[in-house]
Structure 1
Amino acid sequence: MEEKIHRAKKRIWNDICSLKYCIILLAVYAVATQLAFGTVCPMVIFCGLPCPGCGLTRAVCSILLGDLKSAVEYNLTAFLWLPFLLLLLWERYLTAKKIFSRQGVMIFVALVTVVYYLYRMKMFFPGEPPLVYQPENIMAWILQVNT
């Protein structure tokens, strides 16, 4: 068991080291866009509309804190994404074996997320956050400049 933990730590460290520039770039992007636009979501920044993943981070945090009602309100598909991500982590760092078809599961979860997004946009947009329009966006600025 100790050997498995040691190998998992080594894999995690190797992944962090190999992705260090991506991690730094993402951190800079997150700080810059949060300061400039008040969000890190590229879709909200560009067109002001929520994306299919809107509310996923808050939903996953709510699940982890045991607040399932809030998780459902933020984004119901978090109940699909969280187990998928946990299986990926388990597969990558603990077993080092392929347990399931990543591509098939990811396509399924992504399709469910998009269908759920379309449903939410039709039924609840605009409404409570995260399903709100952000008027301070790049498209609005471009349209305003050109008129």
Structure 2
Amino acid sequence: MDKFFKFCILLILIFCVNFNKELAVENLCLFRATTGFPCPSCGMTRAYIHALNLDFKNAFKYHPLFPLPLFLFVIIAFRKKVKIFDSIYNNNFLIICLIIIFIGVYVFRFINSFPYEEPFTYNYSSHVYTILEILNLVKNN
């Protein structure tokens, strides 16, 4: 089977799966499970689940940059076959700009949403919070 056919089968399988929009995410992210704080990609999994269910409004709500990793994956995967993708891949200025945008969106979301709005809530069952409770350094809710 050629690679394109395998890729098409994979896409069909992805769209046929019934994704659960209420996915428990507290332990999916190692950063959040450890520190309790949301990471820069917090909400990305739920954004993709909503996007695969064609619910783009909620997908952008969970992470406004959710198309970016897919875009970067396509560029990396096809950089040898498509000349423009190779030039994008080797453009350090563009890569730095994308990193700055990603960090800027994270800071903006952290300031405006933490700790009250999903996906930027604090994980009180995180390892750090549990250790602080054991050491009696935080008040119990």
**Which of 105, 110, 114 is the matching residue for 1:125?**
114
Change in CA separation of 1:6 and 1:126 when aligned onto 2, cut-off 3 Å:
closer
Gaps of 5+ in 1: 10-36
| TM-score calculated relative to the size of structure 1 | 0.63
| TM-score calculated relative to the size of structure 2 | 0.65
After superposition, the CA RMSD in angstroms is 2.9
Per residue, is there more helix in 1 or in 2? 1
User: Counterparts of 2:39 and 2:3 in 1: how far apart (Å)?
Assistant: 39
Which structure carries more relative contact order (alpha carbon 8 Å, separation 6+)?
Answer: 1
Q: Is the 8 A contact 2:75 2:89 kept in 1?
A: no
How many residue pairs match? The answer is: 115
Change in CA separation of 1:91 and 1:58 when aligned onto 2, cut-off 3 Å:
farther
Change in CA separation of 1:79 and 1:6 when aligned onto 2, cut-off 3 Å:
closer
One-letter code aligned to 1:49: F
The sequence identity of aligned pairs, in percent, is 25
One-letter code aligned to 2:38: P
Residue matched to 2:39: 51
One-letter code aligned to 2:87: F
